[in-house]
């Protein structure tokens, strides 16, 4: 069947074919891969069992080591036994060791005197074989005599493998060797049979030459002949008397293969190999576990055959069941499909399909009914959403333009003018203004207004303390509790007023030549406290302001609050908190800048240093609080007489002040200094109902006439100041070389 024919089938036919194809494909995959899967799982399980058996076997051998060492400790630490060895009392030694052997199930116990003479040997009845006897020249025995060293190791001597444990018999008084005791466990066929009983697996043990030392595998005659094992390597089968090189390299003492399959007496065995090491990490022998495979292969084949028959039955049943089930399942879907075609044509007003069941098809039908109803509602909402989206996109564009202005415009007044203009454009208003609170008078003052040509003020800087804005509305003031602005300021909540003249809170400034029809007023907030408002007035075209307009202006107000906050923080960081003049650090930086500018443009620069006369005596007489009042008053005099935004007044330190006068020669500086001196001397300060006056001494130095660098200029202005003090105070002096 080609794809076009399949596509034209009914849904239940398609589902039946797909399910049948998937089941058939899965069954065929399992059918043809079952032998491989079973073989892999079979090999993994065999290898896992072999590895676990080898681990148990190693643990048993280690246990024999520990038993031998423990037995030696019991034997050699008995004072009577130590004395008997020293006296060569073989009768006592024999009696004592036979008791020990029967209780601890030891194999061979040998006792030697300190000169290497064998005093006695106790052997189990089945181990009377001189191949397991310890040689007098044995290294383990000699170390026990000469070095008082105890040891336990696997030895290969006289052609047999054995576990030997040696411990010296030490005289308690002299700590010298009286002899030694040796315990031997032969690693023989009996030992292999014992391991088989414990592990339920045939065990074979080979010596370091790869020869069979012990075996639990018997041939048909009951013999343990390893020569009849047949190994397969690279496709060739060979019989071996010893372990073949591809498994164990007897020359280099290296185990090359940990798992293989071999045949013995016509049976297959899975063999796992592991190395037995001596205490010096040399190879003492090889231990192997043999698992017969014939019965396991038979079980594997029967299981695989059963699985194949079972898969065939599953495929046939799946075909029948899927056909019947899909035929019944897709019936209601046909009805749903017909109704969906009606929905497609757009006829959804009175659309409703009866729900005949509560299964997934019923849920789908009910959901389809709800979906058509929701679709109608969503189509109505979509138009409104598109309009709102367009509005939000425009808001984002406005805020983006403002953020770009923040990045590229450094002048605060210019930046705020740009933002106010963007606000007017964003909501389509006639004009907008910013009013900030004057903490001293508790009034809201118009700081900037934009949109009305006569009132555009771009040349003035914002001064938070002393506003000086010109124009019909510039600098206009309103008590913070009056008008719509006062209501917004007091509540810290924005207002939309679309009928301003009839609002009882509305307050119109005198001198404005236009009518206010509607407005939006939004608070400017810093640290959760209002400090001003932004007013947007008269929607163009006689329209009314909306909630969207309020949303836009509120977002812009947040930007303005951020800007003004930064401006205020910067001004606070460079001005003295008490006198409101610049701090010493800022004075030093600005003097550097002005000297560089004067040098570049070959202009002049003057510096006035001012000190209040007898200020310490004044403080002692009238108190420090009165002294602070004087300093604030002197600073006010200086601030009132200098050029705004040109001259740089600073509190130099204590009662000393400094004024940097850019592009000012000696004559101009002298005239200003004399005016400052005269105003200070005339200013009266009230103390306890009495008028108190102070005077000041001033010194002047000019660049480049008196100095060519900052330090010299300050020093020489200071010298002129002290000249005024020396000449009677309350005077102005110019530096003279």
| Residue positions annotated with a catalytic role | 655
Residues 6+ positions from 387 with CB-CB distance below 8 Å: none
Please name every residue paired with 237 in a beta bridge, in sequence order, or none if there are none.
Answer: 232
Widest CA span in the chain: 140
Buried b (16+ CB within 10 A) or exposed e, 520-555: bbbbbbeeeebbbbbbbbbbeeeeebeebbbebbeb
* HEC per residue, 49-85: HHHHHHHHHHHHHHHHHHHHHHHHHHHHCCHHHHHHH
Which DSSP state fits 36?
A: H
Query: What distance in Å separates the CA atoms of residue 110 and residue 166, rounded to the nearest whole number?
Result: 9
Q: Choose among 605, 710, 703, 720: nearest CA to 661.
A: 605
Backbone phi and psi for residue 282, each to the nearest 5 degrees, phi listed first: -85, 160
Backbone phi and psi for residue 478, each to the nearest 5 degrees, phi listed first: -145, 130
Q: Residue 650 to residues 62, 612, 614, 734: CA-CA distances in angstroms?
A: 92, 14, 20, 20
63 neighbors 185 (Cβ within 8 angstroms): no
Query: What distance in Å separates the CA atoms of residue 473 and residue 454, rounded to the nearest whole number?
Result: 9
Residues 6+ positions from 185 with CB-CB distance below 8 Å: 64, 68, 107, 108, 162, 163, 191
What is residue 202's three-state secondary structure?
Answer: strand
571 neighbors 464 (Cβ within 8 angstroms): yes
Residues 6+ positions from 247 with CB-CB distance below 8 Å: 231, 255, 256, 257, 260, 273
Characterize the bridge pairing of strands 108-113 and 477-479.
Answer: unpaired
Query: What distance in Å separates the CA atoms of residue 263 and residue 227, rounded to the nearest whole number?
Result: 11
460 neighbors 468 (Cβ within 8 angstroms): yes
CA angle, residues 285, 291, 295, in degrees to nearest 5: 165
Handedness of CA 404, 405, 411, 415 (dihedral sign): negative
Sort residue 471 into left (φ over 0), alpha (ψ -120 to 50) or beta. Answer: left
Buried b (16+ CB within 10 A) or exposed e, 652-690: beebbbbbbbbebebeebbebbeebbebbeeeebeeeee
128 neighbors 144 (Cβ within 8 angstroms): no
DSSP code string of 136-169: TT-HHHHHHHHH---EEEEEEETTEEEEEEEEEE
238 neighbors 230 (Cβ within 8 angstroms): yes
Characterize the bridge pairing of strands 732-734 and 696-703.
Answer: parallel
Q: Choose among 705, 699, 697: nearest CA to 605.
A: 705
Backbone phi and psi for residue 472, each to the nearest 5 degrees, phi listed first: -60, -40
Residues in the chain: 737
């Amino acid at each position: 069947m080609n794809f076009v024919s399949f596509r034209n089938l009914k849904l239940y036919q398609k589902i039946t074919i797909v399910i049948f194809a998937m089941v058939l494909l899965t069954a065929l995959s399992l059918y043809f891969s079952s032998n491989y899967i079973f073989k892999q799982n079979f090999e993994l399980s065999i290898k896992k069992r072999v590895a676990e058996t080898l681990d148990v076997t190693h643990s048993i051998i280690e246990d024999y080591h520990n038993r031998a060492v423990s037995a030696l400790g019991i034997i050699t630490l008995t004072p009577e036994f130590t004395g008997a060895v020293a006296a060569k009392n073989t009768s006592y030694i024999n009696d004592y060791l036979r008791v020990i052997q029967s209780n601890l199930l030891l194999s061979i116990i040998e006792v030697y005197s300190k000169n290497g003479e064998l005093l006695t040997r106790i052997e189990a009845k089945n181990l009377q074989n001189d191949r397991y006897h310890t040689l007098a020249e044995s290294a383990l025995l000699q170390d026990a005599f000469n070095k008082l060293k105890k040891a336990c190791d696997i030895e290969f001597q006289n052609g047999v493998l054995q576990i030997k444990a040696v411990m010296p018999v030490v005289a308690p008084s002299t700590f010298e060797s009286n002899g030694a005791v040796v315990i031997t466990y032969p690693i023989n066929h009996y030992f292999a049979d014992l391991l088989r009983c414990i592990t339920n697996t045939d065990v074979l043990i080979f010596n370091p030459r790869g020869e069979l030392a012990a075996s639990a595998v018997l041939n048909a005659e009951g013999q343990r002949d390893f020569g009849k094992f047949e190994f397969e390597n690279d496709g060739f089968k060979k019989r071996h008397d010893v372990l073949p090189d591809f498994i164990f390299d007897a020359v280099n003492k290296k185990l090359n293969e940990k798992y293989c399959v071999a045949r013995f007496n016509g049976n297959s065995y899975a063999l796992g190999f592991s190395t037995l090491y001596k205490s010096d990490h040399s190879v003492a022998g090889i231990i192997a576990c043999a698992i017969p495979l014939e019965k396991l292969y038979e079980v594997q084949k029967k299981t695989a055959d059963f699985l194949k028959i079972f898969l065939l039955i599953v495929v046939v049943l799946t075909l029948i069941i899927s056909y019947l089930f899909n035929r019944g399942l897709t019936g209601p879907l046909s009805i749903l499909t017909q109704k969906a075609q009606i929905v497609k044509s757009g006829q959804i007003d009175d659309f409703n399909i009866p729900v005949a069941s509560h299964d997934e098809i019923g849920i789908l039908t009910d959901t389809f009914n709800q979906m058509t109803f929701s679709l109608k509602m969503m189509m109505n909402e979509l138009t409104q959403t598109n309009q709102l989206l367009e509005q939000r996109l425009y808001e984002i564009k406005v805020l983006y333009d403002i953020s770009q202005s923040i990045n590229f415009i450094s002048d605060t007044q210019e930046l705020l003018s740009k933002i106010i203009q963007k606000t007017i454009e964003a909501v389509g208003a006639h004009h907008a203004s910013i009013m900030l609170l004057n903490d001293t008078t508790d009034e809201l003052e118009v700081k900037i207004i934009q949109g009305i040509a006569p009132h555009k003020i771009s040349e003035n800087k914002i001064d938070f303390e002393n506003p000086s804005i010109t124009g019909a509305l510039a600098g206009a003031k309103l008590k913070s509790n009056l008008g719509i602005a006062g209501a917004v300021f007091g509540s810290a909540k924005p207002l939309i007023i679309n009928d301003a003249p009839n609002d009882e809170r509305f307050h119109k400034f005198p001198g404005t030549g236009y009518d206010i029809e509607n407005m939006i007023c939004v608070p400017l907030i810093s640290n959760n406290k209002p400090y001003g408002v932004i007013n947007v007035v008269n929607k163009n075209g006689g329209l009314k302001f909306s909630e969207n307009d309020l949303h836009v202006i509120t977002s812009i107000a947040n930007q303005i609050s951020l800007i003004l906050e930064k401006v205020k923080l910067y001004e606070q960081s460079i001005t003295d908190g008490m006198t409101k003049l610049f701090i010493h650090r800022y004075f030093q930086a600005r003097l550097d800048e002005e000297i560089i500018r004067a040098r570049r443009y070959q202009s002049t620069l003057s510096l006035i240093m001012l000190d209040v006369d007898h200020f310490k005596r004044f403080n002692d007489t009238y108190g420090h609080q009165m002294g602070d009042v004087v300093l604030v008053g002197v600073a006010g005099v200086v601030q009132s007489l200098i050029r705004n935004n040109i001259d740089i007044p600073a509190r130099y330190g204590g009662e000393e002040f400094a004024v940097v006068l850019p592009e000012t020669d000696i004559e101009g500086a002298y005239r200003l200094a004399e005016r400052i001196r005269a105003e200070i001397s005339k200013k009266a300060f009230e103390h306890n109902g009495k008028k108190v006056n102070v005077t000041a001494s001033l010194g002047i130095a000019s660049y480049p006439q008196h100095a060519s660098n900052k330090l010299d200029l300050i020093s020489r202005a200071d010298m002129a100041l002290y000249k005024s003090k020396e000449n009677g105070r309350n005077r102005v002096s110019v530096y003279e070389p």
